[in-house]
Amino acid sequence: MRNKDTLPPLIIKRCITLLQTCSSSKLKLKQIHCFWIRHGVPISDPETGKHLIYHLVSLSASMSYAHNVFSQIKNPNIFTWNTMIRGYAETENPAPALNLYNQLRASTCVEPDTHTYPFLLKAIAKMADLKLGEKIYGIIIRTGFESLVFTQNSVLHLYSICGEVESAYKVFDLMPDRDIVAWNSVINGFIVNGRPNEALSLYREMGLEGIQPDGFTMVSLLSACAELGALALSKRVHGYMRKVGLSENLYANNALLDVYAKCGSIREAQKLFNEMEERNGVSWTTLIVGLAVNGFGGEALELFKAMEIEGLVPTEITFVGVLYACSHCGMVDEGFNYFKRMTEKYNIVPRIEHYGCMVDLLGRAGKVKEAHEYIRNMSLQPNAVVWRTLLAACTKHGYMGIGEHARAQLIELEPYYSGDYVLLSNLYASEQRWSDVHKVRKKMIREGVKKTPGYSFVEIGNCVHEFVMGDKSHSESEEIYTMLAEITRRLRSEGYVPQTSNVFADIEEEEKENSLSYHSEKIAIAFMLIKTAPETPIRVVKNLRVCGDCHLAIKLISKMYNREIIVRDCSRFHHFRDGSCSCQDYW
Ligand code: ZN
Ligand code: ZN
């Protein structure tokens, strides 16, 4: 090895230039590193080491390799420290970024600068450690870096990720210069924290301020649209994507496919799928799952066959769609055949979701005892979802003993899940066992279990309206309730009798009937009947399962008012048309 001090500066410069040529190969980078070691390029020199670290981190070489080189550098400069912190912030295990920061603070030669904090906050956001983040934010304020846009963006991102959307919005609101990154952060924050409606309002505000959305905004928006079932807005996003040349982007198109399927506009999804020049397994799977949950099980299975013919390899998610299709179409034997095919031909190890589908397949077909037997012989430990599926089947087909057993398992696994109390209570209610219903309700109150309130979304023009059960907060509440009364009157003249056994209480018949007529989806439908032109399809997104009574009422409404009504509930789609539903009363 040559003496490091004697290597001429020109050679070192050449070596660094050489580094820049290996911008795409980790292997080449390591070879150059070895070459440097052999020829005595002084890595410990902060200027030279800086380049090597920068390239190692940028190429996402392993951080332990980079750290090893880093520890050989004498007095690394702030650029190198920041590069290392950034590198860790981008990995799955960002914690060492914080250790580095602490070492940096303890160091007497360098101090954190404007670039240090955004990287550090990114690492902390990944760790979702709000307390730590706020401590660092305190330091940032003391050092006077808080007014920089990228520091504010990092704080905004941290709050969004940690579920503190209000705090995120406060930071955002006070920012004097809000760039696209800030808008995207705050919009995405509202979406990931389950507040898609606020996200959409912000998007509109963004347009008013003349900020052009980018690819990230589009992806966030599409997930908000999917959540809300906002079809009109999805179509506008689609139009915008065409305008800015994103319409051939595979990922953007896959996101759109998903949105159309989740808005219940499965024909739109198929059209897009057929138009797509490039399709991958995700595109196929998205449409297969979309068809299945929209009640087009037969078409889902046809598409699956086509996918196999194309030579694409289905994934475990594809099979969730396939098994779901079989279960909701009542195709028990086919379901078992596909399950076998999944494990034997594609070597997919069944996950609990697949077992869940099989239990559902049997349960829906009324084979409740077989479903129970199946659970007992499963190779995986049944989880709450599996037992809940069985409990639902028991409620539907009236198997009291197995139902109580399933409930006992659920109490062990998830004692605070309100839906199970409701299911069990419905099981009792269907047999008029009001004292047992009462006991369940009392237990719920005693244990502090809150029933998840039902809500429904509908979209008109630019706005998504939300209704909760018995909602009277809407500005047009009076008209809505007049309409509801008229609907009920017309329903009765068609011979409709409310199905009161679904109501979760031993209250008087009349009272029960009242609370049924106020389920959020009915309120939403009444609102849409007033606000939209005759024959316009009505789309509703509901967070819980549609109850039997609403299902019956909506079937009749679709006929009486000559409207196609599409309801997405938490487990599937119902396409109501001319007095019947695509689920064939099987949900
Ligand atoms: Zn209902
Ligand atoms: Zn249905």
Does residue 367 sit within a domain?
Answer: no
Q: How far apart are the CA of 301 and the centre of ligand 2, in A?
A: 20
pLDDT, mean of residues 284-298: 91
Q: How far apart are the CA of 571 and the centre of ligand 2, in A?
A: 11
3-state secondary structure of 576: strand
For the CA of 500, the nearest ligand: 1
d(CA 491, CA 497): 8
Strand partners, 467: 456
> Mind spelling out the 3-state secondary structure of 132-150?
HHHHHHHHHHHHCCCCCHH
Q: Is the model's pLDDT at 150 over the cut of 70?
A: yes
Q: How far apart are the CA of 180 and the centre of ligand 2, in A?
A: 42
Q: Is the model's pLDDT at 35 over the cut of 60?
A: yes
Does residue 39 sit within a domain?
Answer: yes
Q: Is the model's pLDDT at 53 over the cut of 80?
A: yes
| CA dihedral of 374, 377, 381, 385, whole degrees rounded to 10 | 0
Q: How many CB atoms lie within 10 A of CB 229?
A: 27
Q: How far apart are the CA of 295 and the centre of ligand 2, in A?
A: 9
Domain end point (choices 53, 76, 99): 76
Q: How far apart are the CA of 532 and the centre of ligand 2, in A?
A: 22
Q: Is the model's pLDDT at 367 over the cut of 90?
A: yes
pLDDT, greater one: 426 or 386: 386
pLDDT, greater one: 103 or 511: 103
Q: Is the model's pLDDT at 174 over the cut of 50?
A: yes
Q: How far apart are the CA of 548 and the centre of ligand 1, in A?
A: 7
Q: How far apart are the CA of 440 and the centre of ligand 2, in A?
A: 28
Does residue 503 sit within a domain?
Answer: yes
Range with lowest mean pLDDT among 103-117, 276-290, 550-564: 103-117
Q: How far apart are the CA of 354 and the centre of ligand 2, in A?
A: 23
pLDDT, mean of residues 117-130: 89
Torsion over CA: 115, 119, 122, 127 (sign) = negative
Query: Which residue shows structure tokens 């052009």?
Result: 212
Total count of domains within the chain: 2
Percent of the chain, pLDDT > 90? 37
Percent of the chain, pLDDT > 70? 88
Confidence band of 507 (pLDDT split at 50, 70, 90): very low
Say if CB 105 and CB 117 are below 8 A apart.
no
Q: How far apart are the CA of 554 and the centre of ligand 1, in A?
A: 10
d(CA 77, CA 109): 8
Q: How far apart are the CA of 549 and the centre of ligand 1, in A?
A: 6
Range with lowest mean pLDDT among 10-14, 154-158, 435-439: 435-439
Select from 580, 582, 528 the least CA-distant residue to 554.
Answer: 580
For the CA of 574, the nearest ligand: 2
Q: Is the model's pLDDT at 11 over the cut of 80?
A: no
Q: How far apart are the CA of 521 and the centre of ligand 1, in A?
A: 7
Q: Taking CA 523 as the corner, what is the angle to CA 448 and CA 554, rounded to the nearest 5 degrees? A: 105
> Mind spelling out the 3-state secondary structure of 139-180?
HHHHHCCCCCHHHHHHHHHHHHHCCCHHHHHHHHHHCCCCCH
Say if CB 443 and CB 471 are below 8 A apart.
no
Q: How far apart are the CA of 505 and the centre of ligand 2, in A?
A: 24
Select from 280, 214, 275 the least CA-distant residue to 245.
Answer: 214
Query: Which residue shows structure tokens 């404007």?
Result: 114
Amino acid at 44: S
d(CA 329, CA 352): 21
d(CA 136, CA 495): 67
User: pLDDT by residue (tens digit) across 552-587?
Assistant: 999 999 999 999 999 998 878 899 999 999 887 766
Say if CB 196 and CB 190 are below 8 A apart.
yes
Q: How far apart are the CA of 570 and the centre of ligand 2, in A?
A: 12
Q: How far apart are the CA of 428 and the centre of ligand 2, in A?
A: 23
pLDDT, mean of residues 180-208: 85
- Return the pLDDT at 54: 85
Range with lowest mean pLDDT among 69-73, 255-259, 281-285, 449-453: 449-453
Q: How far apart are the CA of 504 and the centre of ligand 1, in A?
A: 11
For the CA of 542, the nearest ligand: 1
Structural domain span for residue 570: 456-581
Select from 361, 280, 372, 367 the least CA-distant residue to 325.
Answer: 361
Say if CB 375 and CB 390 are below 8 A apart.
yes
d(CA 48, CA 77): 11
Cβ contacts of 359 within 8 Å, gap of 6 or more: 371, 374, 375, 386, 389, 390, 393
pLDDT, mean of residues 117-144: 89
- Return the pLDDT at 461: 78
Q: How far apart are the CA of 360 and the centre of ligand 1, in A?
A: 22
Q: How far apart are the CA of 522 and the centre of ligand 1, in A?
A: 8
d(CA 203, CA 265): 23
Which residues have a beta carbon within 5 Å of ligand 1, which is an ion? Answer: 519, 547, 550
39 is written with which tokens? 């020829």
Domain end point (choices 55, 76, 97): 76
Identify which of 8-22, 456-470, 496-510, 523-537 has the greatest average pLDDT. 523-537
- Burial class of 186 by CB neighbour count within 10 A (0 to 12, 13 to 18, 19+): buried
| Upper half-sphere CA count for residue 259 (Cβ side, 13 Å) | 26
Identify which of 92-101, 216-225, 369-378 has the greatest average pLDDT. 369-378
d(CA 13, CA 457): 63
Does residue 149 sit within a domain?
Answer: no
For the CA of 550, the nearest ligand: 1
Does residue 155 sit within a domain?
Answer: no
pLDDT, mean of residues 17-44: 73
Q: How far apart are the CA of 199 and the centre of ligand 1, in A?
A: 28
Cβ contacts of 258 within 8 Å, gap of 6 or more: 222, 226, 286, 290
d(CA 463, CA 196): 11
Torsion over CA: 243, 249, 252, 257 (sign) = positive
Q: How far apart are the CA of 434 and the centre of ligand 2, in A?
A: 28
35 is written with which tokens? 């070459």
Q: How far apart are the CA of 583 and the centre of ligand 2, in A?
A: 4
For the CA of 547, the nearest ligand: 1
- Return the pLDDT at 109: 83
Does residue 38 sit within a domain?
Answer: yes
Does residue 109 sit within a domain?
Answer: no
Q: How far apart are the CA of 490 and the centre of ligand 1, in A?
A: 18
For the CA of 516, the nearest ligand: 1
Which residues have a beta carbon within 5 Å of ligand 2, which is an ion? Answer: 574, 581, 583
Domain end point (choices 76, 93, 128): 76
Amino acid at 468: V
d(CA 342, CA 584): 28
Does residue 70 sit within a domain?
Answer: yes
d(CA 308, CA 281): 10
Q: How far apart are the CA of 379 and the centre of ligand 2, in A?
A: 33
